[in-house]
Amino acid sequence: MSTTPGLPSRRGVLRAAAAAGAVGLAGGRAVADGAAPELPAGLTAHRSPYVNWAGEIAHPGLWTCAPRTAAEVVDLANWAHAEGWRLRPRGKAHTWSPLTITPGTAPDAPVLLVDTTAHLTATELVTPPAGAPGAVRAQTGVTLETLMGFLAEHGLGVTNTPAPGELTLGGTLAIDAHGTSVPADGEAPRPGHTYGSLSNLVLAVTAVVWDEASGAYALRTFERGTDPECDALAAHLGRSFVVEVVLQAGEESAMRCVSRVDVPADELFAAPGSPEAAGGRTFADFVAAGGRVETIWFAFTDRPWLKVWSLSPERPATSRPVLGPYNYPFSDLVPTPVSRLAGRLLAEGAWYLAPTLGALQYTVAATGLTATLAGDLWGASHHLMFYLRPTTLRETANGYAILTRRADVQRVIAEFAGFYRERLEAWAAAGRFPVNGQVEIRVGGLDQPTDVAAPGARPPLLSVVRPHPDHPEFDCAVWVDVLTLPGTPGAAEFYRELERFCLATFDGGHALTRVEWSKGWAYTETAAWADREVVGTVVPGSYGAGQWAEGTETLRRLDPHGVFGNAFLDDLTAHRG
């Protein structure tokens, strides 16, 4: 937890949540008179707070249990079914959306958080199928940093991971977490790897599901390419409880990561064919060169922080070797000037300082890269892919994946960036500053079944980067998200403008918008996940006829009593598309 002065800490969020309403002591047969629920033999419950990444979904204390084995998760499921409770898997709570608990969850709600991180963390190598150099069996409470370190010890790795290594495997698979990669020009696909999401590496899933024959919940393993249920469970949005998976892996490789802060946004995000695009320094140009690109564009600045990763078996002479992850300390620990300024925005409501905060964040990045010799790094891929610690600035975020053709990547980015900048400037001219963080843009591949070493494999049904059956020409996705401090006035309204633009502009012609499960979406002018048209029609419709229905109906069939769910998931998965 960051202890930087001036910023809201997770502890502070908890105090605020507790002040809003004391923990209730009733709520079901098992909690009468304030007693802890009577769980199956050998299991105990304790009160534990829940706070998501930005502190916008918080609860001062829900009953929590840490099962030691998968069999104990089954016991909990059958107990919850009998007692009318619901189970919510709990990992590291590094999420924005209400997939674990919903805002306003009652103090006495019959909800049991199931902590997977205490015991369900085992990993072991298993015999890989033909076509994959390696495979690993892992329980879902293990963190990605631990899992990738284990694979690297055996010469194995993956192409894509999110930037934070503290995420649990179960959480990342539930929302088909991604990195940023497509093949660089001339780069050949590597066996065992995928340019899509982590969910596309799944070979088998062991989950707690309803067994009709026995009339009880039980463990069952589903094989990719053989059991169609696996295609729903590989990215289940939190509507199931997966305890273990088998993932394929490829050979680990060394990479180089070069950071730059000298390319103007006008050039990096230039429209194809424009004079600004002629210099060979557009986002698409960097993708062609390295295949793995991210830009962090601080609000009201004109030079983004550009990162380009590339495969590099040998260390370039100019690159500094690294021996571990998190090599940008200036962004991992919030510098005092940034924290003080952000604190003024939050404490004093000085939102007009957003341009000053953006300029300061750019300066910190630019000077930090030089001061820490972090502008040109080389090392093991998993060391370079993990670069975000939990101590960084906590911001809220929206998120979308815009499916398109590789040839149209620059067009999509130019259209999005142009609209974002125009609206941000228009709002500022009116004296309103809804964004004080940054825009993050990445490009990744889709979940192609040809990447999977399991005959008959299909893409995960509910993966955001599942290929669209009506658009075989779409072969990649532009990931965009916009971050701002929690509580910023007008943020939801501004996000709604962006969302409406994306849905109207990228509507299936040259590109198609899908929402990113872990982020904010379905905005009204005051709240996320609240636009009924987006939740009920747009989201299901973005997956193509039959795909959404098959995925959600499979999840309901595997858990017909709704033990693994909440009100938001009930609503989302009730729609047939």
DSSP for 55-120 reads: SSSEEEEEEEE--SSHHHHHHHHHHHHHHT-EEEEES----SSTTSS-TT--TT-SEEEEE-TTT-
Least reliable range by pLDDT among 166-175, 232-241, 336-345, 502-511: 336-345
Question: Which residues belong to CATH 3.30.465.10 in the chain?
Answer: 123-252
Which tokens hold the place of 492? 């939801």
Residue located via tokens 């040839």: 407
Q: 20 pLDDT exceeds 60?
A: no
Residue 35, burial from CB neighbour count under 10 angstroms (0-12, 13-18, 19+): exposed
User: For the segment 205-253, what is each residue's pLDDT rounded down to a tens digit?
Assistant: 999 999 999 999 999 999 999 999 999 999 999 999 999 999 999 999 9
Question: Looking at residue 31, what is its pLDDT?
Answer: 45
Which residues contact residue 417 at a Cβ distance below 8 angstroms, ignoring those fewer than 6 apart?
265, 269, 297, 439, 441
Q: 32 pLDDT exceeds 90?
A: no
Average pLDDT value over all residues in the chain: 93
Q: 111 pLDDT exceeds 60?
A: yes
Question: Looking at residue 34, what is its pLDDT?
Answer: 65
Question: Looking at residue 18, what is its pLDDT?
Answer: 37
Which tokens hold the place of 560? 């017909």
User: For the segment 279-330, what is each residue's pLDDT rounded down to a tens digit?
Assistant: 999 999 999 999 999 999 999 999 999 999 999 999 999 999 999 999 999 9
Asked if residue 414 lies in contact with residue 269, where contact means CB atoms within 8 angstroms, the answer is yes
What is the rounded average pLDDT of the residues 449-459?
A: 97
CB burial of 365-380 (b: ≥16 within 10 Å; e: otherwise) equals bbebbeeeebbbbbbb
Q: 15 pLDDT exceeds 60?
A: no
**pTM for the model:** 0.94
Q: 563 pLDDT exceeds 90?
A: yes
Q: ∠ at Cα 448 (446, 453), nearest 5°?
A: 140
Q: 332 pLDDT exceeds 90?
A: no
Residue 40, burial from CB neighbour count under 10 angstroms (0-12, 13-18, 19+): middle
- Identify the top-confidence range among 13-17, 357-361, 541-545: 357-361
Fold of 43-120: 3.30.43
Question: Which residues belong to CATH 3.30.43.10 in the chain?
Answer: 43-120
Residue located via tokens 């079914």: 81
What is the rounded average pLDDT of the residues 429-436?
A: 98
- Phi, then psi, of 118 in degrees rounded to 5: -75, -40
Least reliable range by pLDDT among 77-81, 221-225, 245-249, 342-346: 342-346
Question: Looking at residue 333, what is its pLDDT?
Answer: 82
Does CATH number 3.30.465.10 belong to domain 123-252? yes
- Residues annotated as part of the active site: 94, 294, 440, 442
pLDDT band at 123 (very low <50, low <70, confident <90, very high): very high
CB burial of 419-454 (b: ≥16 within 10 Å; e: otherwise) equals ebbebbeebbeeebbbbbbbbbbbbbbbbbbebbbb
Q: Which of 169, 166, 45, 32 is nearest to 112 (CA)?
A: 45
Question: Looking at residue 577, what is its pLDDT?
Answer: 64
